[in-house]
Amino acid sequence: MSYCPSRFQTIRRPTLEVKVGAVGVGGTNPLRIQSMTTSDTQDVAATVRQCIALAEVGCEIVRITAPNVPAARCLRDIRAQFTAAGFGSVPLVADIHFLPSAAMEAVEHVEKVRVNPGNYADKKKFAVREYSDADYGQEMERLHEAFSPLVLRAKALGRSLRIGTNHGSLSDRIMNRYGDTPLGMVESALEFLRIAESHGFKQTILSMKASNPKVMIQAYRLLVERMQQEAMHYPLHLGVTEAGDGEDGRIKSAIGIGSLLLDGLGDTIRVSLTEDSVYEIPVARAIADKAMSLWSAPSRDAGTDSIDPFHFTRRETNVVQLGDSVTVGPEQPPRVIVRVGSTTRLPHALAQLSAGRLKDTPAEGILVDLDSAADLAVLPAAGAGRFLALELAPAVTADELAGPAARLAPGTMLVRTFTADEGAALGAFARLVQRHPLVLAAQIAPADFPGLDECLQQVGDARLVFALPLPSGSAGHAVGAYRQLAEQLLRLGSRAPIWIRNTAATAVQGDNSFLSKLLEASFLTGSLLCDGLGDLVSIETEADPARATQLAYNVLQGAGARISRTEFVACPSCGRTLFDLQTTTQRIREKTGHLKGVKIAIMGCIVNGPGEMADADFGYVGGAPGKINLYVGKQCVQYNLPQAEADARLIALIKEHGKWADPAPVPA
Ligand code: SF4
């Protein structure tokens, strides 16, 4: 692949080292963890307190917004007081939008300056106009003039820069030529990077953030490919913007950041949550530790990879019917399977999974262990709208099941691992599932496929699903092993669906916490879904089947693969925020969280919010202190509403646009 050495194991991309004060980023340095303060920058004492709190929980680089020159001037005192408190080695970064004058002030006081190439020295309103080559050339000259003083001053002072592109705030110039595409994001950064290089300045880090993990992943991949072509080797800062809070925010961040880290990209990360910044650090630490534990030297030729990593396309599959009404196939969202364990636990689990709160997010497949054919006699039915998946113990043979299998509901799935020398067993199970008719989930390690080719070609796809045996036995990571599985199916011409199994065996470090399980599921399932792979999903590390089901739906929602409730896009807040983002987000979530397929953005300020919320259906944006602007799409339809009225008006707008549904009554 042109953007990374391997998509099957994690080989770190070689980069230049950039010094952010005393902290090295890229090169041979570990992944660096960073975050941002949310206080008003001109409240120096509060900002210093937040810097200290972040540093004390392990934040290695602290960013502070500098929305104007007076705020940038305050960075001098913040730096001095932070150093006096014993944190001289923790670098500070100024976050700049629009104002070169603020950047020129900030660079005097802090170790790094982040500029947004979409609005640095640019107009605040998007204008639709054509740019001839001559116009474009003039714009480049204007940009050169505007950005060069900052580059030269940073060079003289030994500071570093970040060119931080955001999907939602690209310049008119870029939007008119490339649209708000990953390519546009990359070109936006390269314009600035070339100016820095023209001055011999190499202390630059780049980022390509978006609230949609798929867009963000594609943009970073494309950026690296373009830099390779121009022999540029700058480190990357990874992040998903407006990820939101709670489980959703963690999942979205882990999908976007984790997917890139698995491919060896990324040198510093920020997990943006709509929570107090200190809560970002343990999540970022866990993600970084998992990724670093996978860094390895190239160990083998893993073969080809046919996926186009720069454009999303879902892998084409056959339609497979599971149970009486669950269809898997190209027109269907990925289906959710929950693991229950032994057959004795099945009645209790079925009762639990039928509880009212799971109505909109049902477990469609129930996975139970089948230790012997005799257990089929006492197996309850899965119930309407569900199918049973029976994980067969190695000793259970197709012959033994031949008689009792007649009692199974059509579309029941038999799950069995086959090794390279088990062609005869595979053939026997294939005949069994055709006769009854059932579905076979064949778990085959990619390396074992060649031994089973002939048999698989005879079996055909009509009643087949594929998964990996666990543990996968792959020298790389589980995402790489699933990619290899997809390659084997392509080689065979098989269009059978792929089932992504998240089990304890896919865990990297044996960490049993819920956060670890959530991150593992996001890394594995999210990365594959963003590559267009995966038709069934199971999260099998949670003792509580209802909780595991919910987590599976949340990961599907985070990857944009199956939308089962309202999607919230909320900025993490910063010194520009005009209302309490955390309580507002929670309040709006309580009122609108049941709306399937509606996307609502909650943004702290007007300067940056409307651009950042990209493709939301409705927007709730801070317009002035105590005042809210409401948006439908990118159009502002209500200006400066008193905050007390804004929730009701937002709901009225959702109703006016036909996207409202009353919440389901809470079961007694
Ligand atoms: S949208 Fe939120 S995080 Fe972004 S600048 Fe405005 S207040 Fe800060």
When pLDDT is cut at 50, 70 and 90, the band that residue 508 belongs to is very low
pLDDT above 70: residue 73: yes
Rounded to an integer, the average pLDDT of 381-387 is 85
Digit-coded pLDDT (tens) for 479-500:
999 999 999 999 999 999 999 9
DSSP readout, 183-227?
A: HHHHHHHHHHHHHHHHTT---EEEEEE-SSHHHHHHHHHHHHHHH
Residue 338 Cβ contacting ligand 1 at under 6 Å: no
**Whose alpha carbon is nearest atom 5 of ligand 1?**
608
608 lines ligand 1 (CB under 6 A): yes
If you measure from the C-alpha of residue 605 to the centroid of ligand 1, how many angstroms do you get, rounded to a whole number?
Answer: 5
Given a cut of 80, is residue 665 above it in pLDDT?
Answer: no
User: Hey, which of 577, 579, 629 would you mutate to test ligand 1's pocket, going by the most ligand atoms within 8 Å of its Cβ?
Assistant: 577
- Please, is 45 exposed, middle or buried when counting C-beta atoms within 10 Å of its C-beta (0-12, 13-18, 19+)? exposed
572 lines ligand 1 (CB under 6 A): yes
Q: What is the mean pLDDT of residues 274-286?
A: 94
- The candidate with the shortest Cα–Cα distance to 148, out of 96, 201, 195, 194, is 195
Q: What is the distance in A from the centroid of ligand 1 to the CA of 252? A: 18
Closest among 373, 380, 421 to 395, alpha carbons compared: 373
Lowest-confidence region among 118-122, 317-321, 326-330: 118-122
Q: How far apart are CA 17 and CA 296, in angstroms?
A: 19
User: Which H/E stretch holds residue 368?
Assistant: strand 365-370
For residue 157, the tally of other CB atoms under 10 A from its CB is: 11
As a whole number, the mean pLDDT across the chain is 90
Residue 302 is predicted with a pLDDT of 63
Distance 242 CA to ligand 1 centre (A): 9
Residue nearest to atom 1 of ligand 1 (CA): 609
Pocket perturbation via mutation, ligand 1, pick of 612, 620, 621, 631 by most ligand atoms within 8 A of CB: 612
Which atom of ligand 1 is closest in space to residue 575's alpha carbon? 8
138 CB contacts (<8 Å, ≥6 apart)?
none
Q: What is the mean pLDDT of residues 375-402?
A: 89
Label the pairing between strands 23-26 and 92-96. unpaired
Q: What is the pLDDT of residues 358-382, one digit of tens each?
A: 666 788 999 999 999 888 888 888 8
Q: By mean pLDDT, which of 8-22, 151-165, 287-301, 412-426 is the weakest?
A: 287-301
State yes or no: pLDDT of 129 exceeds 50: yes
- Kindly state if the Cβ of 573 falls inside 6 Å of ligand 1: yes
Q: Is 619 in the pocket of ligand 1 (CB under 6 A)?
A: no
What's 111's DSSP letter?
S
Q: pLDDT tens across 600-610, in order?
A: 999 998 866 66
User: What per-residue confidence (pLDDT) applies to 436?
Assistant: 87
User: For 250-265, what is the mean pLDDT?
Assistant: 96
Cβ-contact 177, 131 below 8 angstroms: yes
pTM of the model: 0.91
Ligand 1: centre distance to CA 572 (Å): 7
pLDDT in tens, 528-560: 999 999 999 998 875 788 888 899 999 999 999
116 lines ligand 1 (CB under 6 A): no
Contacts of the segment 617-624: beta carbons below 8 A, 24+ positions apart: 617/657, 617/659, 618/650, 618/653, 618/654, 618/657, 620/584, 620/588, 620/646, 620/650, 622/577, 622/578, 622/579, 623/578, 624/578
Whether 362 lines ligand 1, by a CB cut-off of 6 Å, is no
Q: Which protein residue's CA is at the shortest distance from atom 4 of ligand 1?
A: 608
291-297: average pLDDT? 89
Q: Is the pLDDT of residue 571 over 60?
A: yes
Residue identified by tokens 């001098």 is 76
Q: What is the pLDDT of residue 526?
A: 95
Percent of the chain with pLDDT over 90: 65
Query: Higher confidence at residue 172 or residue 289?
Result: 289
**C-alpha 574 to ligand 1 mean position (Å):** 6
